[in-house]
Structures are given as C-alpha cells and as structure tokens.
Chains A and B, each alone.
Chain A
C-alpha cells in the first residue's frame, strides 16, 4: 500500500505526521485553507498548485502537519473539491486514505447567494440540503428554500 511510487507526491515535501489533501481541482487550494481555517494552524501548512494530474489535468495539493482531518471536516470540502482524497500520514507512512463524501446537509459551510435571504441579514448559521445531480450538485437553502448549483456559491463561511 505504500510503495515508492504511491508516496511520490508526499515525498515532494514529505511530512512526518498529518494530512495530505490530494486531487483538489486546480485553483481551489486557497479556499480550502480558508474553510478549514488552516491559516491559524500552529504548524506548517504547505500548498502546491497546478501539479499535473491524469484525471483532473491539473490539481492542487494541501499538506497539513500535525493535524489529522476527520471525515466530517473533509466533507466540508464537498462543494469545492468533490474529487479530493484525504491521506492521513503517521510516521512518514500512509496510515489511512479516504474520499470526500457529499453530506446530506451542509451546516455553516457556505453563505446563501440570495441577497434577500434572512441568513444574510442576521448573525446566524446557514444550512443547506444537498442533492446529487447527473453532473454536480444542487443545494437548497433551509431558510429561503432557493435552489442553487455549485457554481452559484461564491462565499464560504470562514
């Protein structure tokens, strides 16, 4: 499971303990850092942009030292990076690998794009229901009940 080739990506900037978020669609790494609040992480966070990727063409990678991402945290990335893979590294070795799952509900992850939505006028959390489509994802606001596609989402709760 951890042969030389598979670990190449991590060796570029090998880490001892932590998480490597791989297969991020190019251009989304910085937003992921915001959503996961990694800018206030105490340890090293490394970001790589535009790595060549067989499946995505180009991909970004985020490497977080001394923090293991949980499935729930990873699922917050469902809108930005549904293709992301989460690699948990312990003592330089790949200890666990999992995919982002699209949760049924997204709480406190995105802002509602509807300017007349109550959530944009009161100091309160947002809540969205997700529905998988043939391509992509539809998101319905719990409050204003409007339905959005992934591309409509411009702002993330940070």
Chain B
C-alpha cells in the first residue's frame, strides 16, 4: 500500500482515498496495541482552539504527548489576537513558524482550509464550524472496524439529527468506500439532506429513511446515535413530541444481533439511557478512547514518521 501523508493537511474526509483511510486505521491499530512513546520526540504541535471543545482538544494534546511530542497553544480564543482584529490567515501563518503541525478548531465553516493556505505545516482540522471534523470520522471508522472485525458490507443505522449533524454526513460519505447498507432514522424535519442522499445514490449505496428506531434495530450491525437539539425546532411543542421517540433503552436491544454495537460521538444528553451502558452492545466509551489512537496515527503520518 503506497500511501504517504507526510506534510498533508487533513481538512475534509472526502480528500482521503480508501487506501489512505485504511492506512490510517492500520497505524491507529498498531499504536493502540504497541505504544510508541518516543516516536515524535522533538516535535511540537500547535493546539489552536478558537472555540472551546475540551474533549477534542484533550484528545489531540494527549495523542501528541503520548508519542513523546510537545504541545503549545490556546483553548480560549479571547487570549488570541483575533479578538484584536487579526485575521485568521496572519495568526496561523505566525503560529506555523513556531510548530511542526497544527490541530485546530474554529467556529467558521472553511476556516481550516483558509488556515492551510497560510502555513506549509500540516493542519489537522478538529472541526470548522458546521463543516468538517475528519478525525471524528476516522475514529468512528476505526471503532466500527474494531468491534465488527471488518468494514466491508455492514448494516449501519444512523439516528437523531441527521440534517445538521456533520458527524453523520461525513461518516455516510466515508462509508461509500466500504459498501455499507445505511438506514437513516430521524424526524422528517431532520432527515439526511438530499445532497448526501444524491451522493450515496450516485455511488450505488443502498439506504432507506425511517422514523422509528424499532424499524431497524434488529437488522443492523451498528446503531450510530446522535443528539437532537431542542434549538433546531422553531416550535418547542414539536420537540417535546419527538424527543422521546429517538431515545434508546436496554429493552429495545433484546432482539438485536449479537454483534450489534451502539456508537455515539458523545456527549450524550438523554438519547441513550444509562441502562444501555452495561449491555454487551454499548461501545461508545471505547469509541471515545479510540480518538486518541486515530489522532496519534494522523500526527505521526503527517509528520512523516510512519507511512
């Protein structure tokens, strides 16, 4: 497999080929099994969080430190010059001169792409507004492969806010490489956008739309839950009506496939009852941990230490 991500920006999952995705997952697997605490000795990662996201930030920073690298950066945009009116371009150009790679999160769509124009150092996009969050998709794929022992030909349901949830958009797009059968479970007003459905149809991916978890739960290998936010509804009554329809509890899992695993990008609010946590199907905490290995693999690859 000839992949080389040295020097590459990781902005959007769509820019990664199937071979590159598989290489990242393989490296993440190796790093999980046998840690390499000296691999990035002498390297510095800039951790630029223009918007707070404690989980993503700690995952990136820990990934760098577990490989022996160092971290500089900020977790709060109020300390940066952007408050004084400095452009993102200037700010990232300067930070790029200090560090070897940059993990960033920013509230505006397209900010990571813009940052990549400002510096030659690899940018790892940890979320640009509502647009992309490729490391989440990579850790999702890694987790699916880990718990199902394969990626090809799985039956996968996505549940919740599929309209605004970038996590499920990117995952659906990435799964087109692996011939998944997809089930989308959401209230009508929050179903998967048509441009994603068109893309799936173009790539001959089978999918169907559903309004109840019960319609799909016994047919799938992965149940990918997401949160529905009340703010998405103009009418609070509508939210009250639907919010309990998209909640998973242990009883609903009784007839599901033995290998079926429940995933969730976390944080959850009420959409997975805690009684699910102790079933053999719960896998969301393992999923969160896997972010560490996916990010380690990416850092080591864009810095050219592994292929």
Which residues of A are in contact with B by a Cβ distance under 8 Å? 114, 116-119, 121-124, 141-147
Contact = CB atoms under 8 A, between A and B. Distances in A.
A145 B89 contact: no
Interface string B72-100: 00000000000000011100000000000
Interface in B122-169: 128-132
A143 B195 contact: no
Given A118-B128, A124-B89, A145-B132, 8 more contacts: A116-B107, A116-B130, A117-B108, A121-B108, A142-B113, A143-B113, A144-B109, A144-B131
A141 B195 contact: no
A118 B88 contact: yes
Contacts of B12: 145
Contacts of B110: 117-119, 141-145
Chain A, interface SS category: loop
A114 B107 CA distance: 13
Interface residues of B, number: 18
Interface of B: 12, 87-89, 106-111, 113-114, 128-132, 195
B87 A114 contact: no
Contacts of B131: 144-146
Given A122-B88, A145-B131, A116 B108 contact: yes
Contact of A144 (B107, B129, B195): B129
Contacts of B107: 116
Closest 8 A-B residue pairs measured CB to CB? A143-B110, A144-B109, A118-B110, A144-B110, A118-B108, A118-B111, A118-B114, A143-B113
Contact of B109 (A117, A122, A124, A147): A117
Contacts of B87: 122-123
Contacts of B109: 114, 116-118, 143-146
Contacts of A124: 89, 114
Nearest to A147: B195
Given A123-B87, A124-B89, A118 B130 contact: no
Nearest to B195: A147
A61 B132 CA distance: 43
A21 to B, nearest CB: 33
A117 B112 CA distance: 11
Contacts of A146: 109, 131
A126 to B, nearest CB: 10
A142 to B, nearest CB: 7
A142 B113 CA distance: 8
Contacts of B113: 118, 142-143
Contacts of B111: 118
B138 to A, nearest CB: 18
A144 B107 CA distance: 11
Contacts of A123: 87
A116 B205 CA distance: 31
A117 B110 CA distance: 6
B182 to A, nearest CB: 20
A121 B89 CA distance: 11
Contacts of B129: 116, 144
Contacts of A118: 88, 106, 108-111, 113-114, 128
Nearest to B109: A144
A121 B131 CA distance: 16
12 contacts: A116-B107, A116-B109, A117-B108, A118-B109, A122-B88, A123-B87, A124-B89, A124-B114, A141-B110, A144-B131, A145-B131, A146-B131
